[in-house]
């Protein structure tokens, strides 16, 4: 069985109808489904069905009711089919890949620099050389002209002060 094709006069009438009633019909479709994109798809499907039946509609003043009935029936059919490819779950299928919070990192970095600035000059120099310049204990001792034991004990005391600093919320190793 072949579907009759609308004539150009029918197409012109249908186009004029869609232009005049489209926004109203879209509001109706949006009231039938919560997702705006689904509402647009629903309206498109209903208008396609209406276009195919356009030549069979005797009273074109009743087209609004026909399209609304088509919207409701199409939405009901979609609801009954319950698409298999969509499942609601409590957990996301993939873990969120949120990057590091750059603002929080900067806040921590600023707090750490303020805490280091409060250390005595000698401890501050040793911490900076050891952890910011990535020098070994031996290299730090040579750079400051002190013994390796002095570097170890001074850095240990400095890290203890940093751990106890109330402004810092991070763990210093």
With contact defined as beta carbons under 8 Å apart, do 35 and 24 qualify?
no
* Residue 55 resides in a domain: yes
**Higher-scoring residue by pLDDT: 166, 19:** 19
- For residue 137, pLDDT beyond 90: yes
pTM for the predicted model, two decimal places: 0.45
Rounded to the nearest 10 degrees, what angle do helices 148-164 and 102-117 cross at?
120
**In-domain check, residue 99:** no
- Domain range for 32 is 8-81
Tell me if 23 is assigned to some domain: yes
> Quick check: 172 pLDDT over 50?
no
Better-scored residue on pLDDT, 122 or 34: 122
Looking at residue 12, which CATH number applies to its domain?
A: 1.10.1740.10
Q: Where does a domain end: 81, 97, 118?
A: 81
pLDDT tens digit string along 81-104?
Answer: 765 666 677 777 676 666 777 888
Query: What is the percent of the chain with per-residue pLDDT over 90, rounded to a whole number?
Result: 23
Residue 82 token pair: 């319950």
What distance in Å separates the CA atoms of residue 161 and residue 172, rounded to the nearest whole number? 10
Residue 54 pLDDT exceeds 90: no
150 belongs to a structural domain: yes
Q: Are residues 115 and 73 in the same domain?
A: no
Q: What pLDDT sits at residue 5?
A: 57
> Is the Cβ–Cβ distance between 100 and 107 less than 8 Å?
no
**Number of structural domains, the chain?**
2
């Amino acid at each position: 069985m072949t579907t009759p094709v609308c004539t150009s006069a029918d197409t012109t009438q249908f186009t004029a109808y869609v232009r005049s009633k489209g926004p109203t019909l879209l509001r109706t479709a949006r009231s039938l489904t919560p997702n705006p994109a689904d509402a647009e798809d629903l309206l498109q499907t209903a208008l396609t069905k209406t276009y195919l039946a356009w030549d069979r509609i005797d009273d074109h003043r009743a087209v609004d009711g026909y399209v609304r009935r088509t919207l409701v029936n199409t939405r009901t059919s979609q609801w009954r089919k319950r698409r298999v490819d969509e499942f609601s779950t409590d957990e996301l299928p993939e873990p969120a890949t949120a990057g590091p919070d750059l603002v929080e990192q900067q806040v921590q970095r600023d707090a750490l620099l303020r805490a280091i600035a409060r250390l005595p000059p000698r401890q501050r120099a040793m911490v900076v050389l050891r952890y910011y310049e990535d020098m070994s204990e031996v290299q730090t001792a040579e750079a400051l002209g002190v013994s390796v034991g002095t570097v170890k004990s001074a850095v240990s005391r400095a890290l203890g002060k940093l751990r106890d600093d109330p402004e810092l919320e991070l763990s210093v190793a």
